[in-house]
Amino acid sequence: MVSMEVDRVMTLDKAYRTTIDGLRELGWKDLALDSKRKGINARFQGENDIWELLIHFHNEGNYLITSRSTWKVQNNTSDLVQHLVEKINHGNPKHDFRMNDRGSFEVKTSANILDKSHFFEEMKGVMISNIQAYESYSSMLKRFVNITPEYLKKETEGFRALISSKNPSKNIQDDEIIRLKLQK
């Protein structure tokens, strides 16, 4: 959660427009925009998967950023993956890790940005943090999901150490370098 108390909150329309303009200045051209609901959806292809970055402007000063995968969890691993995601999510106040109803991995990050003069810089920082959190765990989960049934038992044993650990490393999110090749 990013919180600053500097200036009056930007209106939803202004925050939405400022974010769109900032993303376009960064070269993001193919944005799916929903001006009525104040939503932005950008779809990207990374080295290993296709994912979406969604930004929603619900209330003035309160913004939700979500990285969402397009790969699905197979039924034979869904319970184990759900358990692993719950362990990753445990004790992480900055990001909300979950498997959505369609079987896709999501990382949700809420941000309160109250400083009008540095709004997009703060928004960009939250977006980067969200993407880094997604990248930190998605490759591990995807590898686990794509394991064939005959190797599942062996791989499951390898993940038991992480599942039974008290706290996964929170530093991974901050230290991980973004390795995405945005193809727009």
Does 113 or 171 have the greater pLDDT score? Answer: 113
Q: Are 63 and 56 in contact (CB under 8 A)?
A: yes
Residue 181 has pLDDT above 50, yes or no: no
- CA torsion angle for 142, 143, 145, 150 (degrees, to 10)? 170
Nearest to 53 by CA among 70, 36, 74: 70
Read off the tokens for 69: 């995968």
Read off the pTM: 0.72
Contacts 24+ apart (CB under 8 A), 142-147: 142/48, 142/49, 142/69, 142/71, 142/105, 144/77, 144/80, 144/81, 144/84, 145/71, 145/72, 145/73, 145/74, 145/77, 145/81, 147/77
The predicted structure's pLDDT at residue 161 = 55
The predicted structure's pLDDT at residue 108 = 92
Percent composition of the chain: helix, strand, coil (DSSP 3-state, to 5):
40, 20, 35
H/E element, 113: none
The predicted structure's pLDDT at residue 133 = 87
- CA 78 to chain CA centroid, Å, is 20
Residue 41 has pLDDT above 90, yes or no: yes
The predicted structure's pLDDT at residue 21 = 94
Does 168 or 138 have the greater pLDDT score? Answer: 138
Cα Rg of the chain, angstroms: 18
Per-residue pLDDT tens for 60-100? 878 899 988 877 777 667 777 888 888 888 877 889 998 88
Task: List CB contacts of 158: < 8 A, sequence separation 6 or more.
Answer: none
Q: Are 85 and 105 in contact (CB under 8 A)?
A: yes
Q: Are 14 and 62 in contact (CB under 8 A)?
A: no
Per-residue pLDDT band at 32 (split at 50, 70, 90): very high
Task: List CB contacts of 52: < 8 A, sequence separation 6 or more.
Answer: 41, 42, 43, 44, 66, 67, 68, 70
The predicted structure's pLDDT at residue 89 = 86
Per-residue pLDDT tens for 106-165? 899 988 888 888 899 999 999 998 888 888 888 778 777 766 666 655 555 555 555 555
